[in-house]
Amino acid sequence: MRNTIDFSPLYQSAIGFDRMASLLDSVARDSKPSFPPYNIELVEENKYRITMAVAGFREDELEITSEQNTLVITGRQESADSEPNFLYQGIAARNFERKFQLAEHVKVNGARLENGLLHVELEREIPETMKPRRIEIDGGRSSERLEQQNAA
């Protein structure tokens, strides 16, 4: 029995998709088949794209849900009335569910199905209260102003 390590908690402390956590996660997954294959790319600062190869799936057979920092992409193909008699089947035709841990403040902006590839657009939006802000140094003048206001 092979021990597997879950690296998904590393994603929660990362900003966007942490490169080191992704590398560790991919090392852990190398022993298991990965279906469907996917890419995660940095489109620009704070914008990401997941591209998943979903050949043979129609839009109505795919479902994307996002809940509490988890993105779930599910594919369910309806069974055909008559099973084809394949001489060789190289295109997988199986249902799948793929989960992605999203960092805090990463939201799904949209998805599109194009040429057998599902593209999911993500963006990290940091709230104004969490963005760094510059604090001006007054040099002691604020206490002088308070004294002037109190005297008036």
The verdict on residue 37 lying in a domain is: yes
Q: Specify if 150 maps to a domain.
A: no
Beta strand segments in 1-152, E: 38-44, 47-53, 62-67, 70-75, 96-101, 106-114, 117-124
- Within a domain: 3: no
Within a domain: residue 143?
no
Q: How many domains does the chain contain in total?
A: 1
The answer to whether residue 31 sits within a structural domain is: yes
Check pLDDT > 80 for residue 29.
Answer: no
Question: For position 11, what pLDDT does the model report?
Answer: 54
Amino acid 90: pLDDT:
81
Confidence of residue 4 (pLDDT cuts 50, 70, 90): low
For residue range 80-135, list pLDDT tens digits in order.
666 778 888 887 778 899 999 888 888 899 999 999 999 999 998 888 787 788 88
Give the 3-state secondary structure of residue 60.
Answer: helix
